[in-house]
Structure 1
Amino acid sequence: MRYLIVFILLGSFVVTVGQQAPLSSQYMMNRLSINPAYAGELGFNSVSISYRKQWVGMEGAPTTQNISIHGPVSKGKIGLGIMVFRDVIGVSRENNISAFFAYKIQKKKDEVLSFGIAASAVFSNNQWSQIITSDPNDEAFSNNSPQYIFPDFSAGFYYKNNNYNIGFSIPNFLQHKLDASSSGYSIINDFSQYNYLLETGLIIKSNHIIIKPSLLSRYLPNSSFQVDINCIVDLYNKLGLGVSYRTQDAIVGMIQFHINNQMILGYSYDHTISDLQQYNNGSHELFLRYDFLYKIKAIDPRFF
């Protein structure tokens, strides 16, 4: 569908970009991707890698790669992290490097309140030459755009104990608007363009089975409200099976393999239920996490 690329291109002239974090069906395996307050929350260093191919079969559909590392310092009172992700949508290329800082308050033995911030450098450009036009000599599409670099910031907090967690974050404070009539991007700060994320989850333990229902809501004023309703069942700390419903978008199936005490491999498949269903074959996501299991005094991270 070559016309989809043109549609995305034309939309980029009038719509701000960068206000929404890349979509992930397995966000609960690396909450740092949605909330900077989760830096160091596992109680040990952790490395995560993910790859998502959205709307397979649809030309110009999003593809996202992500790698992050985070862990605690100062006896768990501070969490630090770094994340790098690449997002490709149509002719748009965006690379993001983020540094995370979180400060944690141990309210009781099994309760933590954490506040986090992140600063990012965003590298963006557009591959105009990939556009197929009726005139192959059209100079407007003969050269790619320069690479633009602009800042961004995010903030959030969370509270958790051994059975419950809740977090709130704003992943992008600055929006970056591509102006076709100027030489590049302009940076704006508009409350109506903030993306608000609210995430909560429970832990239900029964013998060797752990049931983990959770919910993630995304709200963008004047645009959309979307909710992920999830449930993952861990069996004997070896296998996780899950299902998720994303309102007006997809039904998701998830499977997670606990390869050993330090490594988890996850896969999810999104079956599209929106109007885009007829144009794609669903979305695939792979996830790998490795935990360095030296421990400090902290809430059991396996529960969350």
Structure 2
Amino acid sequence: MKKYITLALLLISASASKLHAQQEAMYSQYMFNTLAINPAYAGSRNVTSATALYRNQWVGINGAPETVTFSIDAPLNSKKVGLGLQVFNDKIGITKTTGAFASYAYRIRLQKGTLAFGLQAGASQYRADFQNVSLNPDPSNDVAFNQNVNKVLVNVGTGIYYNTDRFYIGLSSPQLLNNKLTNFTVETSNVFNGQALHLFFATGYVFPLSDVFALKPSVLVKGVKGAPIEADLNATLWIKDVFAIGLQYRTKADISAMVEIQASPQIRLGYAYDRSLTKLVQFNNGSHEIMLRYEFGFEKGKILSPRYF
């Protein structure tokens, strides 16, 4: 049974047909990996910030998604400019995508917060090992599996982002070009085997409840042409700005539990565990996600307000 599930997963992800299912890598701790979806986020933390994130999705299913990403960003020119870099490796089934994107944000200081406009550009290598798929009957006459894919895809993205110490809101499209993923076409249909434009809307706010507790709800809405709109609804309770526990609901997909630790002014650790709410729950043991963030430039003894985003 696992063999058939794996094949279905890779076909949905790799073919990128006219259904245009979600193609961008998925993260439960999206609020710590905002640069991956919005280039205008670069420099918003006002210090040089580096974040590494590893996600192992649907443990127990062969060929399930596995993603590693690293990003670093910093403010420049009296914090009027933000620069960022992200590198990633995303695997699912017989497909593997490795790439890097550079981000630029122009930041405008307003009375209560900062408004930023961002651009990003980069390239990724997309590989699909179609010839290694075991099919029954003999797939020798199936042109869709006769040739592997190895393509370099250049893309650009844009976004807008506004934030204060306790609030943020952003709208972005990280990849604007509809690159074709394969050379295989079906003349009798209008199937498009390519990258689809994605739109992301994200917002969050921190409500101080007392000197000890703070509640941080956040929302990420994801849209792609031809697929249902998906939303991640998150709520995290911070305790003394050091330890946090949270829950997240991904519409018609998963529920997640999260833990965050501010180990020092420079180091933050995060962990998320997802459990499927679909029939996939019968075939996997959940998803695991680990996050590590390190921030440079703190002066010894200097007290800084907590950075929640």
Counterpart check, 1:264 vs 2:265:
no
RMSD between aligned residues: 2.7
1:51 matched residue in structure 2 = 54
Greater alpha carbon shift after TM alignment, 19-28 vs 85-94: 19-28
1:288 matched residue in structure 2 = 292
Instruction: Determine if contact 2:260/2:268 at 8 Å carries over to the other structure.
Output: yes
Distance, in Å, in 1 between the alignment partners of 2:198 and 2:131 is 31
Instruction: Determine if contact 1:43/1:301 at 8 Å carries over to the other structure.
Output: no
Aligned ranges 1:1-304 → 2 under 5 Å:
1-11=2-12, 12-13=14-15, 15=17, 20-108=23-111, 110-134=112-136, 138=140, 145=148, 147-177=150-180, 178-181=182-185, 193-205=196-208, 206-294=210-298, 300=305, 302-304=307-309
2:189 matched residue in structure 1 = none
Distance, in Å, in 1 between the alignment partners of 2:193 and 2:130 is 22
Q: 1:64 to 1:241 in 2, by over 3 A?
A: same
TM-score relative to the length of structure 1: 0.87
TM-score relative to the length of structure 2: 0.86
Instruction: Determine if contact 2:221/2:231 at 8 Å carries over to the other structure.
Output: yes
Deviation at 1:138, TM superposition (A): 5.0
Distance, in Å, in 2 between the alignment partners of 1:14 and 1:37 is 27
1:234-267 Cα offsets, whole Å, 9 max, x none, are 2122211111111101111000121111111111
Distance, in Å, in 2 between the alignment partners of 1:268 and 1:236 is 20
Q: 1:74 to 1:265 in 2, by over 3 A?
A: same
Distance, in Å, in 2 between the alignment partners of 1:26 and 1:221 is 24
Instruction: Determine if contact 2:129/2:149 at 8 Å carries over to the other structure.
Output: no
Deviation at 1:57, TM superposition (A): 1.1
1:90-118 Cα offsets, whole Å, 9 max, x none, are 1001012100000000011x311011011
Q: 1:155 to 1:187 in 2, by over 3 A?
A: farther
Distance, in Å, in 2 between the alignment partners of 1:115 and 1:14 is 29
Distance, in Å, in 2 between the alignment partners of 1:187 and 1:174 is 13
Q: 1:188 to 1:243 in 2, by over 3 A?
A: closer
Distance, in Å, in 1 between the alignment partners of 2:16 and 2:211 is 54
SS in 2 for 1:277: helix
Task: Give the counterpart letter for 1:176 in structure 2.
Answer: N
Instruction: Determine if contact 1:174/1:188 at 8 Å carries over to the other structure.
Output: no
Q: 1:283 to 1:187 in 2, by over 3 A?
A: closer
SS in 1 for 2:229: strand
Deviation at 1:303, TM superposition (A): 3.1
Instruction: Determine if contact 2:97/2:127 at 8 Å carries over to the other structure.
Output: yes
Distance, in Å, in 1 between the alignment partners of 2:16 and 2:174 is 21
Select the structure that is richer in strand: 1
Q: Equivalent pairs: percent with the same residue?
A: 33
Instruction: Determine if contact 1:40/1:102 at 8 Å carries over to the other structure.
Output: yes
Instruction: Determine if contact 1:48/1:67 at 8 Å carries over to the other structure.
Output: yes
Deviation at 1:153, TM superposition (A): 1.1
Distance, in Å, in 1 between the alignment partners of 2:241 and 2:262 is 7
Q: 1:10 to 1:241 in 2, by over 3 A?
A: closer
SS in 2 for 1:276: helix
Distance, in Å, in 1 between the alignment partners of 2:223 and 2:98 is 24
Deviation at 1:294, TM superposition (A): 3.6
Distance, in Å, in 2 between the alignment partners of 1:18 and 1:80 is 30
1:73-130 Cα offsets, whole Å, 9 max, x none, are 101000001100111011001012100000000011x311011011020101112354
Gaps of 5+ in 2: 187-191
Instruction: Determine if contact 1:45/1:291 at 8 Å carries over to the other structure.
Output: yes
Distance, in Å, in 2 between the alignment partners of 1:128 and 1:57 is 22
SS in 2 for 1:7: helix
Task: Give the counterpart letter for 1:131 in structure 2.
Answer: V
Gaps of 5+ in 1: none
